[in-house]
Amino acid sequence: MANKKTLPSYIECDYLVIGSGIAGLYFALNAVEHGKVIIVTKKKASDSNTWLAQGGIASVLGDDDSFESHIADTERVGAGLCDHEIVETAVKEGPKCIKDLAERFSVSFDTRTGDSSYDLGKEGGHSHRRVVHVRDLTGKEVAERLLEAAKNHPGINIYEDCMAVDLLSSAKYGGANACFGAYILDKSTNEVSTIVSRVTVMASGGAGKVYLYTSNPDVASGDGIAMAYRIGGAVANMEFIQFHPTCLFHPEARSFLISEALRGEGGKLVLESGERFMGEYHPDQELASRDVVARAIDDVLKRTGEDCVFLDMTHLDPVFLQKRFPNVYETCLSYGIDITKQPIPVVPAAHYLCGGIKTDSYGRTSVQNLLAIGEVAYTGFHGACRIASNSLLEGLVFSRRAGKVARDLGWQNPSVVASWSAAGAIDSDEAVVVSHNWDEIRRLMWNYVGIVRSTKRLQRARSRIGLIREEIKEYYWNFKINSDFLELRNLALVAHLIIASAQSRKESRGLHYMLDYKDPVESMQKDTVFVRGSGPPPL
C-alpha cells in the first residue's frame, strides 16, 4: 500500500474505523474476516498513544497469580466505580489476546533468561508481577506488528492524514438515531469526503491535549468523544483524568513518559536533596496507585516550591537498566541525563482518560451501529482510576469482542446521502483566533481542572469555556474548516464535558480530588453520564 492515498469523494464499506491505535487495528484485523474495512487516521498510522505505551500489558500469566487477584487489584484502584462484570471479562479474556498477539502476529514478548516463560513486570497497584512487555517499547512493538498485518490485508484500506469532521446520523433524515458513517477531511486536499458504512467504529483515543502538559501525542484532542456526543451518544465519567506521576522534566523533552515499570523495578522518588517522600503519603510508597503518587508529587512541589522531583535508579545494575529500559535510557541520554548515574527529573502530566463514550461489553454505544473501543470508550473497566498497564489490555479485549458483534449489525443509511456543504463559508485570515483559544483552553484546564480541584476553580473554568465555545460556534459557521480548527472545536467541547462532570461530583474519589469535598460519598458511587439535550453542558 502506498504511504498516502487520496480519499475518494464518496465511498462505502462495511466497517469504518476512526483511529489506528491498538483498538482500531485489532478490531480491523478481526472484523475483516466478514467485511470490508476502511481505517482513517488524522496523521500517520503510527501516531497514537499505543506507540508511546512503554510499560506493557497486564494479564494473568504467572503461576503465582490468579484472575481473582487481578480483578481485586483493578477494583481496589478503581475506587468503587468499576463494573465487576466488565473487569471479570477483561481479566479472563486477557491471556487469550496475549496468546493471539504472540502466535498470529509474532509479537516477541520478553522471556526470562534460560526460560521460555514470560518476564513479567510489576507496576503500581498490582499485587503480583503480571505485566508482559517488550523491553520498554511494548506499545510500539505491538502496534507495528498489527499495522503491518493491516497494511498487507487486501480487505483493509488505510487513509492517513484524514480527519473525521462529524458522524452521519440517520436521525437527520427522519429515521432512528443510527450512525452510518462520517464526513472525513482529507488534509492533503482540504476536501471533505463522505464515507458510508454499515458499522462505524470509534477508536480515536484519548484527550490529553486538553491539558497544557501531557504525555500524549498531538492527535489526542478528544475528537471521538466530541463527535459521539454531538449525535446523541452517552458520555460518562469525564471528570476522571489520570495524570501520570513521572514525565521527564526538561525544556526540550515535551513531557516524555518515564514508565511506571522503572518504579516497579526499584526506582525511588526523591527530592533534590535525595530524601524519599512517598512514605509520608502511602504505605506502598512508589508503587501506590497513580492517583496517589501524582497527588503526592503535586503536594510536594507546591509545598517546597521546587520545579520537579527525581526518580533515582542509580542504585540498580547499569547493565540491567540499559537492557530492560533501552528507550528510556537512550532518550534521557540524548538530553544529557545518564540514568545509571543521575536521578531523572520528573513531574506529573495528563496521561489517560478513564471516562469516554459509554459502551457495553461489546463496544456498543447508545447510538445504533456506532461502536467505541479503546481509550475513547468508557466500559466501566477502570472505574475512577486506571491501574497500570490495563489500558492495552482493555483495547485488545473489547476490540476483539466488538469485532464479533459487528457482523450482525444492519444497514441504516438513507437512500440518498447529502454531501458535505461549505456554502457561504469563506477562507479565514484569523488563524490567531484558533491558536489563542487552543492555548487558553489548555492553560485554564491545567490551572483550574487539574490534579487538585475546587468549586471556585471549576466555576471559573466553566465560565470561560462557555465564552470560548460561543466564539468557536460563530467561527464554524462563517469560515471554511481545517484540521486545526476541528481539533479546537472538539477540544473545547471535551473540556466543557470534563468541567461539567467534575462540578457534578461533589466528593473526592480516585482521580477526582476536590479541596471542598475531600472524602468519598457513598451516594455518589455511580457514573456521571451526559447525553446531549438532556442536561449540561448546554450547547
Cell numbers standing for residue 314:
542509580
Strand boundaries in 140-298, DSSP class E:
156-159, 162-169, 179-186, 191-202, 235-236, 241-248, 268-270
Q: d(Cα 61, Cα 243) in Å, to the nearest integer?
A: 28
> Could you tell me the three cell numbers for 294?
501524582
Beta strands in 49-190 (DSSP E): 57-58, 131-132, 156-159, 162-169, 179-186
Establish how many alpha carbons lie within 13 A of residue 458's alpha carbon, considering only the half-sphere containing its beta carbon.
22
| End-to-end Cα distance, the chain | 42
C-beta neighbour count of 487 within 10 angstroms: 22
Largest Cα separation within the chain, whole Å, is 70
Report the b/e string of 523-537 with b at 16+ CB within 10 A.
Answer: ebeebbbbebeeeeb
Residue with cell 494473568: 60
* Contacts made by residues 279-288, CB under 8 angstroms, sequence distance 24+: 284/124, 286/124, 287/122, 287/123, 287/124, 287/125, 287/263, 288/124, 288/125
**Strand 191-202, strand 179-186: pairing:** antiparallel
Measured in whole angstroms, the distance separating CA 146 from the mean position of its chain's CA atoms is: 18
- In the block, residue with C-alpha cell 481479566: 91
Query: Please, are residues 310 and 261 in contact by the beta-carbon 8 Å criterion?
Result: no
Angle between helices 455-478 and 431-448 (to 10 degrees): 160
H or E, element range at 211: none
DSSP 41: -
**Distance between CA atoms of 227 and 413, rounded to whole angstroms?**
18
CB atoms within 10 A of CB 127: 15
Per-residue b or e along 401-440, where b marks 16 or more CB atoms closer than 10 Å to that residue's CB: bbbebbeebeebbeeebeeeeeeeeeebeeeebbeebbee
Q: Known catalytic residues?
A: 290
Contacts with 184 (C-beta within 8 Å, 6 or more apart), sequence order: 7, 40, 159, 162, 163, 164, 165, 192, 193, 194, 195
